[in-house]
Structure 1
Amino acid sequence: MRVADDPARPALRPLLRLAGPVVLSRLGIMAMGVVDTVVVGRYSAEELGYHAIGWAPTGVVLTTALGLLYGIQVMTSQAIGDGRAEETGVILRRGVAYAFQVGVAAALVLVLLGGPALHLVGLEPALADGATPVLQALALSLVPILVADAGLFWLEAHGRAVPGMVAMWAANLVNLGLNLWLVPGNSGFPVAGAVASAWSTGLSRLVLMVLIWVVIARWAEARRFGVFDKTAPDPQAAAAQRAVGYGTAGSYFIESAAFGAMSIFAGWLGTLAVATWAIVLNVAAVIFMVPLGLAAATAVMVGRAHGARSPAGVRRAAGLGFGVTVAVLLAICLGVGLGNEALAAAYTSEPTVRGAAAAALLLSCLFYVGDGLQAVGAQALRARGDVWMPTATHFASYLFVMMPLGWALALPLGLGLMGLVWAVIVASALSALLLWGRFWWLGRGALV
Structure 2
Amino acid sequence: MSEQVTVASGATAPALRPASTWADELRATFTLAWPLVVAQVAQNALTATDVIMTGWLGPEFLAAGTLATTFLMPFLVLGFGIVGAVAPLVAQARGARNIKAVRRVVRQGLWAGIAVAAALIPLLLQIKPIFTALGQDPDATILAEQYVQIAVWMLFPALAIVALRSLLSAFDDTRIILWITLGGVVFNAAVNYALIFGNFGLPRLELRGSAIATVLTNVVMFGLMLTYVLRHRRFKRFNLMIRFWKPDWPRFRQIFRIGTPIGLTVLSEVGLFTAAALLMGLLGTDEVAAHAVALQCASMAFMVPLGLGIAATVRVGTAYGRGDAEGVRKAGWTAFVLGTGFMTLTCVLFLTMGPLIVSGFLDPRSAANTNALGLAVTFLAVAGLFQIVDGAQVVAAHALRGLSDTTVPMITAIIGYWLIGLPVAYVMGFVLQWRGVGIWLGLAAGLGIVAVVLVARFAMRQRLGLMRGLT
| TM-score exceeds 0.5 | yes
Please state if 1:384 is matched with 2:391. no
Please state if 1:318 is matched with 2:329. no
For 1:103, the equivalent position in structure 2 comes to 117
Q: Secondary structure at the match of 2:85?
A: helix
Q: Aligned in 2, Cα 1:143/1:3: closer, same or farther, shift over 3 Å? A: farther
Q: Secondary structure at the match of 2:431?
A: coil
Please state if 1:196 is matched with 2:194. no
Contact kept in structure 2, 1:87 and 1:225, CA below 8 Å: no
Q: CA deviation at 1:121?
A: 1.0
Please state if 1:93 is matched with 2:112. no
Alignment of 1:223-238 (within 5 A): 223-230=236-243, 233-238=247-252
Question: Aligned to 1:418, which of 427, 437, 460?
Answer: 437
Contact kept in structure 2, 1:55 and 1:138, CA below 8 Å: no
Q: Which amino acid aligns with 2:400?
A: L
Alignment of 1:305-344 (within 5 A): 305-344=319-358
Q: CA deviation at 1:185?
A: 4.2
Q: Which amino acid aligns with 1:125?
A: P
Please state if 1:438 is matched with 2:457. yes
Deviations 1:361-414 (A, max 9, x none): 122111122112111111111211222111011011101111101111111111
Alignment of 1:253-402 (within 5 A): 253-349=267-363, 350-402=369-421
Contact kept in structure 1, 2:305 and 2:340, CA below 8 Å: no
Alignment RMSD, CA only?
2.0
For structure 1, list consecutive stretches of 5 or more residues without a partner in the other structure: none
Contact kept in structure 1, 2:389 and 2:447, CA below 8 Å: yes
Question: Aligned to 1:182, which of 189, 195, 198?
Answer: 195
For structure 2, list consecutive stretches of 5 or more residues without a partner in the other structure: 1-11, 364-368, 465-471
Q: CA deviation at 1:205?
A: 1.2
Q: CA deviation at 1:272?
A: 1.5
Deviations 1:1-43 (A, max 9, x none): 3783424757111110000011111112111111111222233
Question: Aligned to 1:75, which of 75, 81, 89?
Answer: 89
Q: CA deviation at 1:298?
A: 0.6
Q: Distance in 1 between matches of 2:242 and 2:161?
A: 19
Q: Aligned in 2, Cα 1:272/1:307: closer, same or farther, shift over 3 Å? A: same
Contact kept in structure 1, 2:188 and 2:213, CA below 8 Å: yes
For 1:156, the equivalent position in structure 2 comes to 169
Q: Which moved more, 1:80-89 or 1:221-230?
A: 221-230
Contact kept in structure 2, 1:344 and 1:355, CA below 8 Å: no
Q: CA deviation at 1:187?
A: 5.1
Contact kept in structure 2, 1:86 and 1:224, CA below 8 Å: no
Contact kept in structure 2, 1:326 and 1:369, CA below 8 Å: yes
Q: Aligned in 2, Cα 1:186/1:233: closer, same or farther, shift over 3 Å? A: closer
Contact kept in structure 1, 2:82 and 2:255, CA below 8 Å: no
Q: Which amino acid aligns with 1:119?
A: T
Q: Which moved more, 1:193-202 or 1:159-168?
A: 193-202
Q: Distance in 2 between matches of 1:342 and 1:3?
A: 46
Q: Distance in 1 between matches of 2:287 and 2:362?
A: 13
Q: Aligned in 2, Cα 1:355/1:198: closer, same or farther, shift over 3 Å? A: farther
For 1:118, the equivalent position in structure 2 comes to 131
Contact kept in structure 2, 1:291 and 1:325, CA below 8 Å: yes
Q: Distance in 2 between matches of 1:43 and 1:357?
A: 27
Deviations 1:202-247 (A, max 9, x none): 2211111111112112211322223233375332222122211011
TM-score, length-normalised on structure 2? 0.90
For 1:41, the equivalent position in structure 2 comes to 55
Q: Distance in 2 between matches of 1:165 and 1:66?
A: 18
* Percentage identity across paired residues of the two chains: 25
Q: Distance in 2 between matches of 1:181 and 1:59?
A: 25
Q: Distance in 2 between matches of 1:296 and 1:356?
A: 33
For 1:14, the equivalent position in structure 2 comes to 28
Q: Distance in 1 between matches of 2:270 and 2:140?
A: 22
Question: Aligned to 2:447, which of 398, 404, 428?
Answer: 428
Aligned length: 444
For 2:7, the equivalent position in structure 1 comes to none
Question: Aligned to 2:141, which of 124, 128, 146?
Answer: 128
Contact kept in structure 2, 1:8 and 1:312, CA below 8 Å: no
Q: CA deviation at 1:170?
A: 0.2
Q: Which amino acid aligns with 1:432?
A: A
Q: Aligned in 2, Cα 1:121/1:421: closer, same or farther, shift over 3 Å? A: same
Q: Which amino acid aligns with 1:131?
A: A
Q: Aligned in 2, Cα 1:396/1:418: closer, same or farther, shift over 3 Å? A: same
Contact kept in structure 1, 2:191 and 2:213, CA below 8 Å: yes
Contact kept in structure 2, 1:53 and 1:131, CA below 8 Å: yes
Q: CA deviation at 1:171?
A: 0.4
Q: Which amino acid aligns with 2:140?
A: L
Q: Aligned in 2, Cα 1:196/1:301: closer, same or farther, shift over 3 Å? A: same
Deviations 1:262-292 (A, max 9, x none): 1111111122212221222222222222211
Q: Secondary structure at the match of 2:282?
A: helix
Q: Secondary structure at the match of 2:40?
A: helix
Alignment of 1:402-413 (within 5 A): 402-413=421-432
